[in-house]
Structure 1
């Protein structure tokens, strides 16, 4: 998102950032998200660390939250499945509670909040796209049809292709990202490894993960 964030919002203090884990302690599971979005026409998928768990089929670590990715222009379809919940926009360490459409237009994350408890339940990534083609936030030249990058578990839970999840995780390579890379690479097909290597070389030339592919 190249647009400048608007003024306002609540800037999270270091103490509030530290306290966020507790506010995500009641977040939904992938199965609970899938139940709420069952039959939704817009393409959506579990993203980030949970997507890798669904790909591997075996949990390897605890998760502090859950993220899904959707086409940005079709957010209303997801919002309509979440009646009664508050929607907070997030960007650059700030939170806009009960975000208005103009705030949503220039941010890409929405935290779904229980207005009674204040707990966060779901993180929605509103992703750039061109019709039925997904566009990578970090490099707009990377584009794939949604049908090629959304995989499904045996229980029909959609998740983002692991090579794309790892591409996003390569930006920061925090300890959990490194752990996810190590746990996932042995399960990738040759084609998935080749795709990840090509994308890493394009977006992050010389990235340390290239040696492991």
Structure 2
């Protein structure tokens, strides 16, 4: 994604930021998202905290929103699944309502909004890729086939591999990120722990999680 943000958009005030959780209170569950995207051609996966719950097989905490990842080029196909909804681009404390293509090219987060209520229902990450190869937005030298990074629950819901979810969570290590790490690591296979160790050492050298792996 282009680091230069486009003009326009609305800067979120402190009051706007404080009100955001209420606007996400009606967000969908992974199962509801999977129903709406059933049969779609572009690869997609549940990301972030929900992905770790899907990996562990149960809901372990409350989730303030739901995020999915898709290859950026697949966004039109996803957008076509939600007629009547609006897609707002979000980045660096700004929101662009019904974002134009040049805005979509500059940020990676897209919030699906119900125009009737103003509620946000789904956060779509439009990720860099090279055809069927996923590219890590934190380190573009990390490239993996989608078929390797997308796992599925028993009922077919796709989710991002837990070691990659934890790699993204390692940047800020909020309380929920630390809790997710502590709850997930015991369930990782030796190969997954080894992969996470290598990725953390590469992207976040000296990260405190390395000592626990």
Instruction: Tell me the TM-score normalised to structure 2 length.
Output: 0.99
In 2, Cα distance between equivalents of 1:208 and 1:102: 38
| 34-43 or 98-107, which deviates more | 98-107
Partner of 2:202: 202
Partner of 2:123, secondary structure, is strand
Structure 1: runs of 5 or more not aligned: none
Instruction: Check if 1:16 corresponds to 2:7.
Output: no
Residue-by-residue CA offset, 1:40-64 (whole Å, 9 max, x unaligned): 0100000000000000002111000
Instruction: Check if 1:98 corresponds to 2:98.
Output: yes
Residue correspondence of structure 1 range 1-213 to structure 2 within 5 A: 1-213=1-213
Partner of 1:87, secondary structure, is strand
Structure 2: runs of 5 or more not aligned: none
Task: Please report how far the alpha carbon of residue 15 of structure 1 lies from its aligned counterpart in structure 2 after TM superposition.
Answer: 1.2
Task: Please report how far the alpha carbon of residue 14 of structure 1 lies from its aligned counterpart in structure 2 after TM superposition.
Answer: 1.0
RMSD value, Cα: 0.6
Task: Please report how far the alpha carbon of residue 2 of structure 1 lies from its aligned counterpart in structure 2 after TM superposition.
Answer: 3.7
Instruction: Tell me the TM-score normalised to structure 1 length.
Output: 0.99
In 1, Cα distance between equivalents of 2:3 and 2:50: 29
Residue-by-residue CA offset, 1:135-172 (whole Å, 9 max, x unaligned): 00000000100000000000100000000000000000
May I ask how many residue pairs the two structures share in their alignment?
213
Partner of 2:141, secondary structure, is coil
In 2, Cα distance between equivalents of 1:68 and 1:181: 19
In 1, Cα distance between equivalents of 2:72 and 2:58: 30
In 1, Cα distance between equivalents of 2:181 and 2:119: 29
| Contact 2:88-2:96 within 8 A present in 1 as well | yes
In 1, Cα distance between equivalents of 2:122 and 2:26: 10
Partner of 2:186, secondary structure, is helix
In 1, Cα distance between equivalents of 2:154 and 2:105: 35
